[in-house]
Chain A
Amino acid sequence: MGDGLAGSAFAGLLLPHFDAAYSFARFLTRDPSAAEDIVQEAFLRALRGFANYRGGDAKSWLLAIVRNTASNWARGRRAAPPTTQEGLEEIVDETQISPEAFVLRQHEIEGIRQLVESLPEPFRETLVLRELEELSYRQIAEITGVPVGTVMSRLARARRMLTEQLEPQP
C-alpha cells in the first residue's frame, strides 16, 4: 500500500507540471509524437524514482528527467526531420474557419516557435527553460548540469541570435 500512497503524493507534486513537461519535450525534440512518448516515459520513470526524490523543486526534478529521456531518444535516432509540414497544414486548416486576426496571430506564434526551434540545442533548452518555464538560473543549471555562469552565457547568446533574426541589422 505504501507504493500506492507514494504514487498519489507523486500526482499532487508532479501533475501540475504536465504542460511544462510536454512543452519542454516538444522544444527539445521538435517532434509532436516523440514529445508525447517522452512525456509518458518520463512520468513513468519519475514514478519509479519517486522514492529517491528528496524534496526540493519538483518541477526542476521532473524537467531533468524529461531532458534525460529526450536525450536517450535523440541518441536512438539522430536528427529527426523537423515537422514543419504538419505545422503548415494546421495553419491552412485554421484559415478556413478563423477570422483574419486569429490567423495572423497563429502565424506570429508559429514563427516564434520555429525561431526558437532553429536555435542550436544548448541555447534552445536554456532559453525555453528561462523564458517559457520561467525557471531561475540556478534551477536551469541543475537541470542542464552546467554551472550558472554557463547558463548566463548561453542565455545571452540565445537571445542575441533571436533578436538578430527578428530585426536583421543593416
Chain B
Amino acid sequence: MSACSDKELLLHGLLDGELDAVNALACEEHVAVCPGCQEQLQRLRQLRTRLQAPDVRFTAPPHLRARVLATLAAQSQTGSAAPSSTAAQPVDLAARRSAVNADRAAQTAPAVPGAASGVGGRRRWWAGASLAACVVAASMLVGVGSVLFALRARPDSVQDQVIASHVRSLLVDHLIDIETSDRHVVKPWFNGKTDFAPAVFELADRGFPLVGGRLDYIGGKVVAAVVYHRRQHVINLFMWPAAGAPPQGAGQRDGFNVIHWTRAGLQLWAVSDLDPVQLREFRAAFDSTAAL
C-alpha cells in the first residue's frame, strides 16, 4: 500500500517538523485515517532511526582537530592573510606531540564524557601541556571571553547569559560537577548548594538521557544546570526560582536555540544546538514526566 500522492511531501514535512500548526494537524488527522500514509510515515521514521544510529555520522579524527587548531592558532597570531602553511609548520610539530592535550582543550560540543567514558572523572587537561596546547588553550579561553564580551555589548538579557553559560560549559571542559544518570544522586547533590530544590528527571526513555548536574551563575545568583543529551548534542537546562519570570518564550542566537518556561515555581531555560522542534520535544518530555 502506498501513500496518497498529494500527501507525499506533507508527510516528509510532518516528519521533519517543518509544517505549521494548521497543516501539521490536518496531516496528522489524515494519517490517522489513511493506512497507506500511515505505513509510509512509519517507513520514513524507521529510515530515520537507522540513519541516526550512533556512529553513522562521522567523527573527526583527533589528529585532524589538533592539526587544524594549530594552523588556526598560528594564522590568527600572525594576524594576517599570509599563507598558512609556512606559519603553521613549527607549531604543527609541537601539536602532534601533544595531540591529546590539544584535542582535550579543543573538544567542544561532542566532547562531553559519554555514559561509558565518564568514569575517570575530571580530566587532567593541563598535564604535560606543550607550547601548542597552551596557544590553543589560550586562544580558546580568549574565544570564550570575546563571545561573552560580544554578548555583554548588548543589553544583558537572561537569554544571552544562558547561551554564554552553555557555550562556556562546552568549551572549558566544565560541563558537569556531578556526573551520573541517576536522578536520585543528582537531586540531593544540589542540597545546600542552591536555596531551592531543582527539578531533575530521567528522560532517557524519551530520548534525552540525563548526564549530570552543575552549579552555574546567571543574573547574579547561583543556579542549577542539569545536563541532558540528545544523540551527540548537549542540552543545558538552567533553573532557578520563578519570581518575576516572563511566562515563556523562545529565541535563537549564533546557532543555539533557547526555550524558557515556568513550572512549579521554577523558571527553566533549555539551551542547545538542537533545532527548535527537538528542543520543544525536550520540553514536552520534561513536562509530561514532571506531571507524573
Contacts and interface: CB of A to CB of B under 8 A. Distances in A.
A23 B60 CA distance: 7
B290 interface: no
B77 A130 contact: no
Question: What range describes how many residues of B lie at the interface?
Answer: 35 or more
A112 B47 CA distance: 10
B72 A11 contact: yes
Interface in B170-229: 170-171
B53 A112 contact: yes
Given A39-B64, A58-B254, A134 B43 contact: no
Contacts of A40: 64, 67-68, 71
Contact of B71 (A17, A19, A44, A167): A44
A59 B76 contact: no
A65 to B, nearest CB: 13
Interface in A114-167: 116, 127, 130-137, 152-153, 155-156, 159, 162-163, 166-167
Contacts of B50: 108, 112, 166
A17 B52 CA distance: 17
B109 to A, nearest CB: 4
Interface of A: 1-13, 15-19, 21-23, 26-27, 35-36, 39-40, 43-44, 47-48, 55, 57-60, 108-109, 112-113, 116, 127, 130-137, 152-153, 155-156, 159, 162-163, 166-167
Interface of B: 8-9, 12-13, 16, 18, 43-44, 47-48, 50-53, 55-61, 64-65, 67-69, 71-73, 75-77, 79-81, 84, 106, 108-110, 139-140, 142-147, 150, 167, 170-171, 232, 254-255, 273-275, 278
